[in-house]
């Protein structure tokens, strides 16, 4: 792949706050049209990294290219090509949902249809409701709507479904997949490991300011090579060859194995092992 065409390309990124090094020697490539999830515990450097990519924070070292430009020097035209959903945003308490989304749409040269955006984030019944009257979860949906109204080429999502109920989360996932299918590149930070697994083609794990691994959710941390736990009514076994174990049990029980389960490490298991090892 031509690295010059990557929406995000980072080499040797460093950021320090006094004696604290928040990000150290970080390299990252995000490909066009992919959903990339950045994972890590609080204080690992995720927020600092994304704020540098968004142009909100200056770096102390390294090279950064976002949509072909250095975010520290990019101007208004560059900013109109990105969308940002922060963990929180300024409150426009007296505007209605429709007024606020319409107001933000005027900032962009190619905005999405306002009604389409409001419907996509599940706020159609609240279109005429003032922002101050929204619940926390509804306000979060509005934040997402403001982030996508400009039809961004690159979308930053920071904990986008915080406060969503399960049905709203799944509806939002479908919206994100639709944006990806339309060609939007998405950088997602989330503490929900199921969200990362559902949405991301690749994930990166930051621990102590370092990017320790980038891989698919299925392959992260050697997940597919981890031993499986075979559980049945009368026992359990940890094995690298679960098919053989199940075949043996089937012979032993004469066919159906009672209460049989074959369990491999979840993404959460792998992730917790990685961040635990990084803290030692």
In this prediction, residues 57-79 reach a mean pLDDT of 95
Predicted local distance difference test score (pLDDT) of residue 279:
47
| pLDDT > 90: percent of the chain | 66
State the average pLDDT over residues 196-201.
Answer: 96
Going from the C-alpha of 80 to that of each of 57, 108, 134, the distances in angstroms are: 18, 6, 27
CA-CA distance, 97 to 85, in Å (whole number)?
16
How does the average pLDDT of the chain come out, rounded? Answer: 90
Question: Nearest to residue 28, comparing CAs of 15, 9, 43, 12?
Answer: 9
Q: Which of 146, 149, 202, 145 is nearest to 171 (CA)?
A: 145
pTM: 0.84
Q: What is the pLDDT of residues 230-255, one digit of tens each?
A: 999 999 989 988 899 999 999 999 99
Model pLDDT, residue 206: 95
CATH of 1-81+153-224+267-280, one of 1.10.240.10, 3.40.50.300, 3.40.50.2300, 3.40.50.720: 3.40.50.300
Three-class secondary structure assignment of the chain:
CCHHHCCEEEEEEEEEECCEEEEEEEEEEECCCCEEEEECCCCCCHHHHHHHHHCCCCCCEEEEEECCECCCCCCHHHHCCEEEECCCCCCCCCCEHHHHHHHHHCCCCCCCCHHHHHHHCCCHHHCCCEHHHCCHHHHHHHHHHHHHCCCCCEEEEECCCCCCCHHHHHHHHHHHHHHHHCCCEEEEECCCHHHHHHHCCEEEEEECCEEEEEECCCCHHHHHHCCEEEEECCEEEEECCHHHHHHHHHHHHCCCCCCCEEECCCHHHHHHHHHHHHHC
- Residues spanned by CATH 3.40.50.300 within the chain? 1-81+153-224+267-280
| C-alpha to C-alpha distance for 240 and 234, rounded to whole angstroms | 20
Q: Which of 36-40, 121-125, 222-226 has the lowest mean pLDDT?
A: 222-226
| Structure tokens, 273 | 């092992």
* The two structure tokens encoding residue 217: 């959710």
| CA 35 – CA 188 distance, rounded (Å) | 7
For position 280, what pLDDT does the model report? 38
258-274 pLDDT per residue, tens = 999 988 888 998 999 89
Q: Mind listing the pLDDT tens digit for each residue in 12-22?
A: 999 999 999 99
pLDDT tens column, 116-146: 999 888 899 999 999 999 987 788 889 889 9
pLDDT at 88 over 70: no
Q: How confident is the model at residue 225 (pLDDT cuts 50, 70, 90)?
A: confident
């Amino acid at each position: 792949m031509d690295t010059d065409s990557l929406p995000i390309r980072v080499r040797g990124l460093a950021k320090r706050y006094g004696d604290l090094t928040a990000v150290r020697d970080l390299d990252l490539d995000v490909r066009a049209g992919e959903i990339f999830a950045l994972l890590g515990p609080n204080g690992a450097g995720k927020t600092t990294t994304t704020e540098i990519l968004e142009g909100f924070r200056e770096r102390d070292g390294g090279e950064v290219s976002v949509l072909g430009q250095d975010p520290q020097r990019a101007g208004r035209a560059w900013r109109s090509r990105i969308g940002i959903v922060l963990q929180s945003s300024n409150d426009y308490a007296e505007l209605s949902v429709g007024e606020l989304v319409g107001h933000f749409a005027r900032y962009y040269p190619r905005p999405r249809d306002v009604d389409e955006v409001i419907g996509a984030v599940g706020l159609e019944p609240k279109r005429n409701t003032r922002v101050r009257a929204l619940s926390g979860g509804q306000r979060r949906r509005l934040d997402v709507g403001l982030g996508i109204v400009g039809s961004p080429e690159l979308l930053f999502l920071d904990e986008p479904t915080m406060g969503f109920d399960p049905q709203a989360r799944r509806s939002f996932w479908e919206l994100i997949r639709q944006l990806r299918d339309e060609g939007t590149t998405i950088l997602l930070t989330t503490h929900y490991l199921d969200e990362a697994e559902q949405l991301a083609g690749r994930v990166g794990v930051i621990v102590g300011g370092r990017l320790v691994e980038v891989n698919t959710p299925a392959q992260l941390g050697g997940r597919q090579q981890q031993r499986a736990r075979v559980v049945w009514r009368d026992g359990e076994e940890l094995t690298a060859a679960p098919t053989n174990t199940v075949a043996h049990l089937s012979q032993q029980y004469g066919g159906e194995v009672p209460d049989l389960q074959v369990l491999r490490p979840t993404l959460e298991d792998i992730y917790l092992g990685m961040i635990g090892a990084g803290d030692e």
